[in-house]
């Protein structure tokens, strides 16, 4: 509470007091009292008045500070009328009533919106489950009539699936309850699953894949992890470097080894460090601008490359980060021009100065869950 302002509010009251003091002083002087006596009375009056004002200011101040503290401690600030006691002063009581009214209408609104959101979420999940039936139908129809046409259709169907999955996980990521199950899973199996999800895209783009020899076990949710890998694989393909001179047509004839240097490569590396397991997904794409790097996990952030290459939703990495957060996986991203980070030196052999594209590193802490249990 601002003291100055409070004092300014008291000006009418003080004016009345001064008026009364002058009136009383004049009256006493006229009736023949000594000057000293009048001064004494006026000084005592002033002192009592000041003490009264100070006392009332301090109690008011303490009262409001307590209310403020109470409000700050609440998660839902608008619930303050529920915890404050009914005030004694008439004005306070009026304000209290107004607060209660505001609270009630707020609660109604919040309830309505919560219900609407839950219904909408339910509808979205329902819709996603329903759309999967026709997608399955298309998949089967294409599989039974394989040709270049159906392969083209399948690549598009994969995109549809990807978008539906994305919206499903978006709806789920908003949810606070845990709807995942952690169990022991083989990283290599999840990688294979994610590659199968994007088979047609990867075949279409002629992506060269490098997988780890040995699998590592982690404790996580398979479906969520697979979704995360899907996003990362699609990103790697989306931001692959495409040089117009060496497209997909010419490269088959003159390079029987299958490595043209401009071919997109996605490399999966696992590392088991006992305490934790890391999975890195490397590509040789265009990389990410250093200025954009800190913001790639933000919702709706597309960055320079996102605008350059294709329409980018800015949702993929945001969802990855969010789901990783829920699963207790650390996700890091780096991008650079350092050549020596390539481990088997394969790319340098082509005689080109190659950039290492983007590397996304997932770190699974094996005892993360144990910590979580201990905390509870």
Measured CA to CA in angstroms, residue 350 lies from 240, 273, 285, 368 at distances of: 18, 33, 16, 42
* Cα–Cα distance for residue pair 252/254, rounded to 1 Å: 6
| Residue 171 in the binding site for another protein (CB under 8 A) | no
Stretch that binds another protein, among 24-32, 109-117, 199-207, 297-305 (CB under 8 A): 199-207
Stretch that binds another protein, among 75-83, 98-106, 111-119, 174-182 (CB under 8 A): 174-182
Contact 370, 281 (CB under 8 A): no
Which of 60, 100, 132, 361 is in the footprint of another protein by CB under 8 A? 132
In angstroms, give the least distance from the CB of 199 to another protein.
Answer: 5
Stretch that binds another protein, among 31-39, 64-72, 194-202, 233-241 (CB under 8 A): 194-202
> How far from each other are the two terminal CA atoms of the chain, in whole angstroms?
41
Contact 183, 222 (CB under 8 A): yes
Q: Which is nearer to another protein, 136 or 304 (CB)?
A: 136
| Residue 137 in the binding site for another protein (CB under 8 A) | yes
| Residue 184 in the binding site for another protein (CB under 8 A) | no
Strands (E), 107-192: 183-186
In angstroms, give the least distance from the CB of 253 to another protein.
Answer: 9
Number of residues lying near another protein (CB under 8 A):
41
Which of 179, 184, 275, 340 is in the footprint of another protein by CB under 8 A? 179
Q: Which is nearer to another protein, 156 or 332 (CB)?
A: 156
The residues, ordered by sequence, that sit 6+ positions from 198 with a Cβ below 8 Å of its Cβ are 158, 162, 230, 233, 234, 237
Which of 2, 31, 133, 176 is in the footprint of another protein by CB under 8 A? 133
Q: Which DSSP string do the residues of 88-104 spell out, in sequence order?
A: SSHHHHHHHHHHHHHHH
The DSSP output letter for 349 is G
Which of 22, 252, 304, 310 is in the footprint of another protein by CB under 8 A? 252
Q: Which DSSP string do the residues of 123-144 spell out, in sequence order?
A: HHHHHHHHHHHHHHHHHHHHHH
Measured CA to CA in angstroms, residue 182 lies from 10, 220, 222, 227 at distances of: 65, 5, 8, 15
Footprint on residues 138-167 left by another protein (CB under 8 A): 139-141, 143-144, 146, 148, 151, 157, 161
Strands 329-336 and 356-365: antiparallel
Footprint on residues 215-234 left by another protein (CB under 8 A): 223
In angstroms, give the least distance from the CB of 195 to another protein.
Answer: 7
In angstroms, give the least distance from the CB of 258 to another protein.
Answer: 4
20-22-26-27 Cα dihedral, nearest 10 degrees = 10
| Residue 203 in the binding site for another protein (CB under 8 A) | yes
Residue 52's SS3 state is helix
| Residue 202 in the binding site for another protein (CB under 8 A) | yes
Q: Which residues contact another protein by CB under 8 A?
A: 129-130, 132-137, 139-141, 143-144, 146, 148, 151, 157, 161, 179-181, 192, 195-197, 199, 202-203, 206-209, 211, 223, 251-252, 255-258, 263
């Amino acid at each position: 509470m601002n003291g100055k302002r409070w004092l300014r509010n008291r000006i009418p009251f003080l004016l009345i007091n001064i008026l009364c003091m002058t009136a009383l002083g004049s009256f006493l002087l006229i009736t023949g009292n000594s000057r000293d006596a009048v001064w004494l009375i006026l000084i005592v009056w002033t002192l009592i008045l000041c003490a009264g004002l100070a006392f009332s200011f301090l109690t008011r101040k303490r009262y409001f500070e307590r209310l403020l503290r109470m409000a700050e401690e609440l998660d839902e600030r608008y619930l303050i009328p529920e915890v404050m006691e009914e005030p004694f002063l008439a004005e306070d009581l009026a304000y209290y009533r107004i607060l209660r009214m505001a609270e009630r209408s707020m609660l109604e609104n919040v309830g309505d919106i919560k219900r609407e959101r839950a219904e909408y979420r339910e509808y979205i999940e329902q819709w996603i489950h329903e759309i999967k039936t026709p997608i399955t139908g298309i998949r089967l129809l294409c599989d039974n009539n394989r040709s270049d046409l159906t392969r083209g259709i399948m690549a598009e169907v994969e995109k549809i699936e990807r978008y539906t999955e994305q919206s499903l996980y978006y709806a789920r990521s908003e949810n606070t309850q845990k709807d995942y199950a952690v169990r022991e899973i083989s990283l290599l199996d999840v990688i294979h699953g994610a590659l199968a999800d994007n088979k047609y895209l990867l075949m279409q783009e002629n992506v060269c894949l490098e997988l780890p020899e040995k699998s590592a076990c982690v404790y996580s949710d398979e479906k969520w992890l697979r979704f995360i890998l899907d996003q990362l694989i699609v990103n790697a393909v989306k931001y692959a470097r495409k040089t117009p001179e060496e497209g997909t047509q010419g490269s088959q004839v003159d390079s029987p080894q299958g490595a043209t240097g401009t071919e997109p490569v996605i490399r999966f590396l696992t590392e088991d460090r006992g305490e934790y397991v890391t999975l890195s997904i490397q590509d040789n794409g265009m990389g990410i601008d250093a200025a954009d790097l800190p913001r790639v996990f933000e919702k709706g952030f597309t960055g320079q490359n996102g605008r350059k290459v294709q329409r980018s939703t800015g949702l993929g990495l945001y969802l990855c980060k969010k789901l990783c957060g829920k699963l207790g996986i650390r996700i890091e991203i780096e991008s650079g021009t350092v050549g020596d980070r390539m481990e088997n030196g394969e790319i340098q052999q082509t005689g080109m100065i190659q950039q290492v594209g983007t590397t996304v590193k997932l770190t699974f802490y094996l005892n993360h869950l144990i910590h979580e249990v201990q905390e509870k």
